[in-house]
Amino acid sequence: MKVKTLAKRKWKKRRTNRGDSLKVGPEKLIMIGFLLVGAAIYFNWDSSKTSQPIADDETLRLGEAVFQQNCAVCHGENGEGHAALAQAPALNESEHAWHHPDGQLQEIIQNGGVEMPSFEETLENDEIKAVIRYFQTFWRPDQLQVQQANSTQYPFR
């Protein structure tokens, strides 16, 4: 108790001696604490954002090569979308791609779209499946989990 009151008195003295802007009171320490905790939560969340791959290393390496050679030009190097072609959607976690089950993604890539070319003639089926497994690593774990559950109804062919 004695220590506490002494410290308090000291504190009061400092408060009156120094200007308001110079004081590092408990309020500021608490605020700094909140900022640190906030940053820790943010960065932890940020680093757990991408999914564990659901394919082996060889498939992922193939998928990455296919992606960089055939898709990145429009969909961006990290699937962020809207690269050479503004209409090209993101294939990462930020847009709609993860709502499509595996079999549907496969068909989209085989058939192409309005602006997107068809890859049926230029890519092997294994390459198409590999590129999907590759850009799935850009998704959040919860997105991949939902998408994989939906894919049991609409799997790769």
DSSP, collapsed to helix, strand or coil, labels residue 91 as coil
Q: Give the angle 155-120-82 at the CA atoms, nearest 5°.
A: 85
For position 88 contacting ligand HEC by CB under 6 A, the verdict is yes
Contact residue for ligand HEC among 60, 62, 130, 131 (CB under 6 A): 131
Question: Counting Cβ atoms within 10 Å, is residue 151 exposed (0-12), middle (13-18) or buried (19+)?
Answer: middle
Contact residue for ligand HEC among 97, 136, 143, 147 (CB under 6 A): 97
- Cβ–Cβ < 8 Å for 91, 81: yes
DSSP, collapsed to helix, strand or coil, labels residue 132 as helix
For position 116 contacting ligand HEC by CB under 6 A, the verdict is yes
Number of residues located near ligand HEC, criterion CB under 6 A: 24
Residues 64-83, one symbol each (x = binds ligand HEC by CB under 6 A, - = not), give ------xx-xxx--------
Q: Between residues 49 and 116, which has the closer beta carbon with respect to ligand HEC?
A: 116
Minimum distance of ligand HEC from residue 140's CB (angstroms): 15
Q: Which structure tokens are listed for 27? A: 């309020």
Cα Rg of the chain, angstroms: 26
Residue 26, Cβ neighbours under 10 Å: how many?
A: 8
Contact residue for ligand HEC among 56, 77, 115, 124 (CB under 6 A): 115
**Rounded CA gap, 78 and 55, in Å?**
18
For position 85 contacting ligand HEC by CB under 6 A, the verdict is yes
For position 107 contacting ligand HEC by CB under 6 A, the verdict is no
- Chain residues in the site for ligand HEC (CB under 6 A): 70-71, 73-75, 85, 87-89, 91, 95-97, 100, 105, 108-109, 113-117, 119, 131
